[in-house]
Structure 1
């Protein structure tokens, strides 16, 4: 397994990976508006636009396949973390998280975790940091991790 920066050539595969994982794990608990909002955020063009900003986007490649993605915004916020459904529970999420946290530029890293992903973020050392919120149909739990 190798962690490397997202390239423009990877965009269609990363978009598909995120949508596949989201539809399985998160979409069933959301409204149609939430699913539509996420589909826009995970579109290849939306990723391309965010690549131009201060977002670190890393992918995990195994067997010549993109198996996971993390998007780390402004060196302090996990904007997205997905592992392909067939590749979960193999340490890919942890490798991506560790690679992103090595680039942290703040003492505290935050995430707006989907409710189904809260246990995974807790296993990465994140703790609850506020009440459950909702934005454009996406329901999330604010969490944070203090870095030593």
Structure 2
């Protein structure tokens, strides 16, 4: 794989991040949701929504390969993995793990204790399992969106 650069999200990245999120969410997340749930999720996670998440303190990093957005990650409150998306072209090539390692270190450097939660789509459960997360409950549905609560325990 070509050289990967992971850096904090910049304002100019937001349109590409929002487009990637919309494309991947349609294929891997909201196809299982109610129409209302899908519509709500996509509306809350558009470019304006991402700007709002940034304003409320979410920390985003992007992965670039050959200058192209390969994926992105967001952490809320130093302990919740909020977004982790990798473009289809770059999946299964270590981009997601590299983003996670960067985001996790940044969260811990900002006062996080190393424990994290995530609400995983059905598709993403094995991905998060490979990162060390375990289920903490059955599949849930909130606002028409299905997810699996998972947790990564702090490693001492």
Q: Specify the TM-score bucket, using the shorter chain as the normaliser.
A: over 0.9
Q: Unpaired segments of 5 or more residues in structure 2?
A: none
5+ residue gaps, structure 1: none
After superposition, give the CA deviation of every residue in 1:47-71 in whole Å (9 maximum; x if it has no partner). 1111112211011011101110111
- Aligned equivalent of 2:69: 66
Conserved? CA contact 1:70–1:80, under 8 Å: yes
CA distance in 1, matches of 2:45, 2:54: 12
Which residue in 1 is equivalent to 2:126?
Answer: 119
The aligned runs of 1:109-148 (5 Å cut-off) are: 109-148=116-155
* Superposed structure 1 runs of 4+ greater than 4 Å apart: none
Aligned residues: 148
Q: Partners in 2 of 1:38 and 1:67 — Cα distance?
A: 22
Q: CA offset at residue 35 of structure 1?
A: 1.2
Mapping of residues 1-148 of structure 1, within 5 Å: 1-102=4-105, 103-104=107-108, 105-148=112-155
Shift of 1:26: 1.9
